[in-house]
Structure 1
Amino acid sequence: MSPQPGPHSLNQVRYIMGADGSGTTKPDSPTFYQELGQFTHQSLISEFSFDQPWPTWEMHPNGDEFVYLLAGDTDMVLWQAGVERVVRINTPGEYVVVPKGAWHTARPHSATSMLFVTPGEGTLNAEVPPDWTAPDR
């Protein structure tokens, strides 16, 4: 069944799209991700605002993630195959494609808001990627 047309606030009510293009809405809550379960063949469309580095890294093994800058200035830090890549986005409208299987985190330079289209099935979170080594700076 299709969700009510809205209006909805994406930072309060997430949109979950199935592989067939159908979707549903789900209010954000402290247990939101636990309630999603396995998240099979679905993508989560969400908005997040942050002004501190993310406390963890994440990885999506079943698809690329689309990350669109709404406001702010941040480094998206990608880790894949033992190589770190830092992509700075600071102009609203810019976006990053996080490749399938790439660990990633964000380190903002200022308060930042972003739109995410996330292939959720199998998403992993960790304090650091399993094969991560701190780069020489």
Structure 2
Amino acid sequence: MPLDPEHTYVHLAENGQGTETPGGAAFWQLPPAEMARFDQGWLVSEFVCSEDWSNWEMHPHGDEFVYLLSGDVELILELPEGLQTERITGRGARLVPRGVWHTAKVFAPSRMFFITRGEGTQHRATSGA
């Protein structure tokens, strides 16, 4: 049966083993102790974004692969030299460097695919970025 990464995430462990886990709200509502088992390795997930992200995020222990499968988004990266924006329409990808705060503005409903190193991920509220 095919896997749908919007509803079933995949955790790729350090040793190369992949494990399927329920995605969406079921994943994000896990207690912190259960969530911690996903810190090491990489999380593969997909989201449908219909509005601007409500927060900035930063992954201190690994780059993040962000792939727009369809839609229209503008990625905003907070770099030492200032904000950098990159609009992606239709499809395309961006590698967000580790330690870089980032968020997105959504101009049309967008399907996005992520490969993320979760350990130490931080969030902060956007303020109209």
What is the TM-score when the length of structure 1 is the normalising length? 0.83
Residues 65 and 33 of structure 1: CA distance in aligned 2, closer, same or farther (over 3 Å): farther
- Identical amino acids, percent of aligned pairs: 35
Equivalent residues, number: 125
Show the 5 A alignment for 1:55-134: 55-81=54-80, 83-92=82-91, 94-128=92-126
SS in 2 for 1:109: strand
* Partner SS state of residue 74, structure 2: strand
Cα shift at 1:114: 0.6
- Equivalent residue of 2:90, what SS? coil
Higher-Rg member (1/2): 1
Relative to structure 1, the CA distance from residue 36 to residue 72 in structure 2 (aligned partners, 3 Å threshold; closer, same or farther) is: same
Q: Is the CA contact 2:51–2:106 (under 8 Å) kept in the aligned structure 1? A: yes
Measured after TM superposition, the shift of residue 41 of structure 1 is: 2.4
Unaligned regions of 5+ residues in structure 1, if any?
Answer: 1-5
Alpha-carbon separation, structure 2, partners of 1:89 and 1:54:
15
Distance 2:51 2:40 in 1: 31
Measured in 2, the distance between the counterparts of 1:41 and 1:12 equals 21
Q: Work out the CA distance in 2 between the residues paired with 1:32 and 1:115.
A: 21
**Which AA in structure 1 matches 2:98?**
K
> Which position in structure 2 is the counterpart of 1:24?
19
Q: 1:7 to 1:33 in 2, by over 3 A?
A: farther
**In 1, are the aligned partners of 2:11 and 2:38 still within 8 Å (CA)?**
no
TM-score, reference length from structure 2? 0.87
Aligned twin of 1:3:
none
Q: Tell me, in whole angstroms, the C-alpha distance in 1 between the residues paired with 2:70 and 2:89.
A: 8
* Unmatched segments (≥5 aa) in structure 2: none
Question: Displacement, 1:21?
Answer: 1.3
CA separation of 1:72/1:107 partners in 2, compared to 1, >3 Å: closer, same or farther?
Answer: same
Q: Secondary structure at the match of 2:98?
A: coil
